[in-house]
Amino acid sequence: MIRCPECNYLDSRTSGTPLEHLKLPLWVFSYLLIESIELFPLGLSASAICRKLSVSKNTGTLLKRRLQIFLSDLIPFIKDEMVKDLKKAWKGKKLPESGDLKPFIEGKPVVHTDTLALFSASQRANGYRKRFKHKGQTASIFLTDSVAEEKGKYQIGTLVHTLAIKGGPVILSSVPDQKQKTLQPLFAFLPEDVPLFADEGIPWMERYNKNFRSINHSKRAKDTKRNVWARNRWSENGIHTQVAEGTQRSIKYSFLASYSYIRPENSILYLNEYSALKGIRVYGLERLVGKKKLGLLRNVGKGYRVSNKTSKTAQQQINLLKNRQSLLYSSPTTFTRIHSDHSRSRKSINKKYRFLFDENHLFPLKQAHIDYLDFMETGPVLRKQKEKFYNSIAYSIWNQMSYETDYNLLQHDFKELTTHMPVFRIIQRWAKLGIADIKLVGKNKYERKQFILKKLIPELPDVLYTFDRNQYENNKNAEENIEIAFENPTFGGRNKNGINKKRRMELLGYLNE
C-alpha cells in the first residue's frame, strides 16, 4: 500500500496495473517473466504455468493475461528504439536504382516484411468443401460462408504481418487481409524512405518509399526446358525477404509446440508477447522498462468499485482488458467481409498483358500495373480522374509510335495542355519501367528539349503517372533513367578546315607549353 502525502489516501501499488488484484505474491509474476525470457522463442502456456505453480486453470490463464498485457506495453518502446537505429544508419541516404545493393546495406539494419498464415484450416475443417471465394493466404484462415453459419464462427486461423530486422527486433501484427488500407498503417512508425525489402505482395509501397525494393518470387528460369523457376528468385542483388521468412518459421514452430492453437480474438496478445520478448533479448529489459512512466502504468480496468451511496466495495469479476480493447482482435463476419469487397486487381489483368509480364525484366512494370488497378478501386476520385487524363495523353503518344521502326521523334501537338509537365512525367515513367527507351537530344541544355523514343514492348499497360503531394515536392530527378545526348556546341567562325580558334588551341595546346 502507498499513502498520498497530501490527503493521506491509501491505495495499492498494483491498482490499475496488469497486477491489479493479484492474490499471489509479486515474486510469482517476476518468476513467470524470467521464465518466459529464458524459454523464448518457445512460449509459456497457461497449462505450463499451472504445472509450475500448482494453481488452478483460471489462475494460470489470468496470470498469462497479466504477463501478455505487461509485455504489450513494451511494444511502443521497442518501436522507438527500432526507429532510432534506422535513423542513425540511414538518415538522408538513398539506395541506387539498380545494381548490387550488398555494399550499401552491409552491416546496416534493413527492414524485411512478409505475411504468414498461422493455424491455417484444412479442407476437413471447412466441411470438406473447397474455397472458391477466398484465394491465397486468406483461404487458409476463413471458412466458407455456409460452413461459418453452421459453426457460428468465420475466422479460425490468424494472418500475421511481420516486420523484422536481421539481429534486431520483430514487430508482429494480426491482420484480416493483405489490402493496402490494412497493411499501410503498420508501416507508419518507420522513418521516411527507410530501406524496406518485400516480395511482390505490396506493389503500392513504391509510391511512398523511395528505398523500397521487391524480389520476384515467380521469376522464370532462362532455360525453361530444364527448369521452371529461376535460381535467383529468392535473392537477387542483395534484395531478399529471408529475415522475415526465417522469423516466421520460428513463429510457426514455437506456437505449434507451445500452444497447439490460439483463437484469433487473442492473437494480438500472443503476437505482442513474442515481439516484446524478442525486443528484450535485443535491447535488454532495463532499457525498455526504464522508459515507462507512472502515468502509463495504470492503464488496466479495475476489478472493484466503491459505491457513492453506501460507501461499500462492490466486488465484480476482474476485467483486465476493459480499458485495453485495442489488444483484442475483432474478427470479421460474413456480413462485414462481403464478396465484392475483395480486390480483384490481379485477376483483372488483361490477357494480352499476362504473357508480357512473364518476362523477368518486366517485373517492375507488372507491379506498377497491379498498383494502378488497386488504386483505381480505392483511390481518391479527383486523382483517379487525373490518372485517366494522363493515360489518355500516354496512349495518344504511344499510338503515333511504331514498334518495328527505330527511334521516333516526340512531335505531338499538345495545344490543349497549359504545360508540358504531364508529357515529361509520362516519358520519365516509361524510361524507369522499361516501357520505352528515351533519349534527350539537342545542341546544348539551354535549347528547347527534344526527345526521341523507341518502343521496348508491343502493348502499353496502364500505370500511375500522377504524383501525391510528397512525391511532387521531392521530384528533383526529372530526367532520371533518360539518356542525355548533347552535340558539342561551337562558338566563333570556322576556317576552311572546319574548326574554330578555340578548338585549334585545344588541339595545339601541348605544343604551346
What is the tens place of the pLDDT at every residue in 349-372? 777 777 777 777 788 888 888 888
Which pLDDT value is given to residue 53? Answer: 92
446-474: average pLDDT: 76
What is the tens place of the pLDDT at every residue in 108-127? 999 999 999 888 776 666 66
Cβ partners under 8 Å of residue 183, min gap 6: 161, 175, 202
Residue type, 232: N
Give CA–CA dist 251/174, Å, rounded.
13
Average pLDDT, the chain: 79
Q: How far apart are the first and last CA of the chain?
A: 94
Q: Of 220 and 297, which is predicted with more confidence?
A: 220
8 Å CB contact between 323 and 301: yes
Give CA–CA dist 416/222, Å, rounded.
46
Chain-centre distance for alpha carbon 455? 33
Which pLDDT value is given to residue 424? Answer: 83
Cβ partners under 8 Å of residue 215, min gap 6: 197, 198, 199, 200, 233, 234, 235, 236, 239, 240, 241
Q: Which three cell numbers stand for residue 130?
A: 473447397
Phi-psi region of 305 (alpha: psi -120 to 50; beta: other; left: phi over 0): beta
Which pLDDT value is given to residue 361? Answer: 79
- Judge whether residue 35 has pLDDT over 80: yes
Give CA–CA dist 36/277, Å, rounded.
8
Phi-psi region of 99 (alpha: psi -120 to 50; beta: other; left: phi over 0): left
Give CA–CA dist 81/79, Å, rounded.
5
* Residue carrying the nine cell digits 535485443: 282
- Judge whether residue 468 has pLDDT over 70: no
- Judge whether residue 274 has pLDDT over 90: yes
- Judge whether residue 394 has pLDDT over 90: no
What is the tens place of the pLDDT at every residue in 171-204? 999 998 888 888 889 999 998 889 999 988 888 8
47-58: average pLDDT: 92
Q: What is the DSSP string of 351-417?
A: HHHHHHHTSGGGHHHHHHHHHHHHHHHHS-HHHHHHHHHHHHHHHHHHHTS-SSSS-EE-----TT-
Confidence class for position 24, pLDDT limits 50, 70, 90: confident
- Judge whether residue 491 has pLDDT over 60: no
Pairing of strands 212-214, 196-198: parallel
Q: Mean pLDDT highest for which of 86-95, 434-443, 488-497?
A: 86-95
What is the tens place of the pLDDT at every residue in 136-159? 666 778 877 777 777 777 888 899
Structural domain boundaries of the chain?
A: 15-119+157-304+315-342, 352-486
Q: Of 431 and 313, which is predicted with more confidence?
A: 431
- Judge whether residue 338 has pLDDT over 80: no
Q: Which residues of 148-177 are buried (b: 16+ CB within 10 A; e: fewer)?
A: beeeeebbbbbbbbbbbbeebbbbbbbbbb
Confidence class for position 315, pLDDT limits 50, 70, 90: very low
Which pLDDT value is given to residue 115? Answer: 92
Residue type, 306: V
Which pLDDT value is given to residue 186? Answer: 92
- Provide the strand spans (E) within 61-190: 111-118, 158-165, 170-175
Q: Which three cell numbers stand for residue 52?
A: 509450475
Q: Of 504 and 395, which is predicted with more confidence?
A: 395
Q: Of 131 and 36, which is predicted with more confidence?
A: 36
Give CA–CA dist 271/284, Å, rounded.
19
